[in-house]
Amino acid sequence: MGPRRHGHGGKRGHKKQNRPAKKRKTENNKRSLPQKPAETREAAKQILESSSSESEEEINDYQKLMFSIKTSGGGATEMDGSESGDEEDDEKDDADGDKSDESEDDNTSDDESDEENEDKEMDSNIVNGKKKETTTQIEEEVEVMESDEDEEHYQMKESDPFSIHFENEKEEDFITNLEKKESWKKSNIKVPHVGSASLTASTHQSKISSTDRDLKKQYVKSKLCTQVFETNKSRCNVDRDLGDYPLNGFQENLFSIINNYQDLYLPNRTLPNGEQIRLVYCLHALNHVLKTRSRVIAHNTKLKKRDNDQTDSSDYRDQGLTRPKVLIVLPFRESALRVIEMMTSLLMPKDQKHVVGNKKRFQSEYTEMDKDIKKPPNKPAEYDEIFAGNIDDHFRLGMGVAKNTLKLYTPFYASDIILASPLGLRTVIGAEGDRERDYDFLNSIEILIFDQADIFLMQNWDHITHLMKHLHLQPSEAHGVDFSRVRMWTVNGWSKFYRQTLMFSSVAAPQINAIFNRHCSNYAGKVMVTRPDTSGAICQIVTQLPQTYHKIKTSSYASAADDRFEFFIKKILPQQKEALKAQTVLFIPSYFDFVRLRNHFVREDLDFSQICEYSSDKNNSRSRSYFFHGNAHFLLYTERAHFFKRFKVRGIHHIVFYELPTYPHYYSELCNMIQDLRSLKEGDTCTCTALYTQYDAQKLADIVGTNRTSIMINSTKTTHMFVTGDNT
């Protein structure tokens, strides 16, 4: 399935999406402010009662927050008549759907019927909105301690990385210095089995914690420790590397960074280590959620026994303004399926009774593909891996984690973890002016994970930047929160300095670097792993092919696109228009550059055909045929079309890389498509031309090699030539 230009896409033949509850605007809301809910009144009372032990600044922060949420139209208010009517209509629609489901499934077993009823009940909760979500959240919060493990973990307050990071109240001066980048210090480090990296941190946190092969000593919950070894063997195929330890060397050192709650950008995701990385971040996410739950339950137990006049309520601040704590952004449903299966394996031993809520529905929606979609044959291994399984790119899934239960399809405001695609998030976040939009659930995200981030570049990167702009914004409603339990750094609006961001990609791209540098401000520091030295994809070209690289002078990254266009139409295009340069492929990574060049070709009345991600298969086939038979001088070919289709283009005599490809192996793939030199007519030649700027250093290193890149970037010469097969 290809990407969508305007953000509408994905196969829509699935059941209901797991959407946060809709916000409804009524005339009553417009005329007057809603009454303050009982939960909020009780929270205010607790705050005022504890004024003797809390500073005036803290009380003022609470009062300002509560007032701002109240006046913005929020609060867990009772629904008025119009809202109740909408709710009744939704329930009626669900009831009709339930009846039809029952008529179709008369022959199912009792167990299947029970699970279907559970699915329908969850659908109803999602549709009926935030009233039920709030009830669910409150019910979870009043749990009390039931096991020794919770008490044991509660006592590990001083040395647990979870407590060190999230229960460490920073001073305002420290946060101010973080915002100004005055206290940041950058150093080069070496992470065993992972590679070279740079650590950027405040002067108070300038090192990485040492590794310990015993996960219990790293404060991983006991129930997870017992499952890591078997999960690693069964799902990651690394048993030969483990010995007697649950993680291999690569995973151990990766986990030491992640468990320290530092940000991480790893651009070295590969086919062999992809599932190993998935296990590490799933382990970390579950460990974080279970610790959060342990804290809440332990504090509930303390509060139940406490004397209100003697206990400082500030000791029990363990929550954010909304419940979701972990957001995992993934490209396809297949990726979400693997995450859920990994978490299920980590959380639930096979020999013990466990419950996965709505499992049947999940398997149906995340494993099945439309029968009319056929997988293309004879594709590279990495293509088959990327597009395995269900490749629908429009989904979102809430998940609740309990003691021995994994609840799927929970409403967002009753979820601990949210799995979603960029498109799935964009459609619920919406845009300014949209009638229905919701992003309150992003307020208290403590761990943000981007897996396979390079694929987001091939989908729509704007969805990622849009997501980052809506993190930690002030909620418009209370969502049943107990304000006396909200952490002070959340009230102060400092959540972004406590949030951990993990980014995993198979390439290093400027767009990903920009997100990591601009939007990641974790006070614990951030680690950026560098790409290893390489000889480059150029070494994979099998024929002797002359390749010319032109360095474009540009004053800034923002002006690079315009400077590249001017250089191309003045220096490169006149040469390529000659008859001797017939059958030239112009490879264009950016769709916007593609449109710009296509319009120029039309104005100049040049002979060309085109292949892009938005063209139909019929048109793409026709364009390839025209080009192969010499009926088109140029073929404009986008990188995203190559990513999704991986066409074998025949008849290529010349290639021009308008910009270096995001994926370095595309360079060698296309060069190897050039017609066999032995079959050329006398006087004919084959050539390759590539354009680059000083901002393309990483892309250039992945293609021509690390050593050559250093020369080409720093040289005063603007033209460099290589011939594959030589020792140049």
- For residue 460, the model assigns a pLDDT of 96
Give the chain's length.
728
* Percent of the chain whose predicted confidence (pLDDT) is above 90: 59
* CA distance readout (Å), 715 to 91, 263, 374: 70, 35, 49
pLDDT at 22 over 50: no
Between 199 and 45, where is the model more confident? 199
Give the model confidence (pLDDT) of 432-448 as tens digits: 889 899 999 999 999 99
Map residue 304 onto helix, strand or coil. helix
Cα gap 535→707, rounded to integer Å: 8
pLDDT at 431 over 80: yes
pLDDT at 59 over 80: no
Q: One fold for both 177-304+317-529 and 535-724?
A: yes
Question: Which residue in 353, 357, 348 sits closest to 407, CA to CA?
Answer: 357
The class level of CATH for 177-304+317-529 reads: alpha beta
Residue 349 — very low, low, confident or very high, per pLDDT cuts 50/70/90? confident
Tokens of 525: 């520091």
CATH architecture entry for 535-724 = 3-Layer(aba) Sandwich (3.40)
Lowest-confidence segment of 23-32, 51-60, 367-376, 605-614 by average pLDDT: 23-32
- For residue 685, the model assigns a pLDDT of 84
> Is the pTM above the cut of 0.85?
no
520 backbone dihedrals φ, ψ, rounded to 5°? -110, 110
pLDDT at 27 over 70: no
Q: Which residues contact 308 (CB under 8 A, 6 or more apart)?
A: 49
pLDDT at 592 over 70: yes
- For residue 284, the model assigns a pLDDT of 98
- For residue 168, the model assigns a pLDDT of 86
Domain ranges of the chain: 177-304+317-529, 535-724
Give the model confidence (pLDDT) of 522-535 as tens digits: 999 999 999 999 99
pLDDT at 125 over 50: no
- For residue 118, the model assigns a pLDDT of 44
Question: Which residue in 528, 513, 570 sits closest to 697, CA to CA?
Answer: 513
What residues does 399 pair with on adjacent strands? 408, 417
Question: Which residue in 634, 621, 676 sits closest to 376, CA to CA?
Answer: 621
Give the model confidence (pLDDT) of 277-314 as tens digits: 999 999 999 999 999 999 888 888 888 887 655 556 56
pLDDT at 689 over 90: yes
What residues does 327 pair with on adjacent strands? 418, 448
State the average pLDDT over residues 453-476: 96
Mean pLDDT computed over every residue of the chain: 81
* CA distance readout (Å), 393 to 8, 103, 181, 382, 425: 10, 31, 37, 18, 11
pLDDT at 41 over 60: no
- For residue 144, the model assigns a pLDDT of 56
- For residue 402, the model assigns a pLDDT of 84
Give the model confidence (pLDDT) of 473-531 as tens digits: 999 888 888 888 999 999 999 999 999 999 999 999 999 999 999 999 999 999 999 99
pLDDT at 221 over 60: yes
State the average pLDDT over residues 320-337: 97
Question: Which residue in 399, 344, 147, 355 sits closest to 227, CA to CA?
Answer: 344
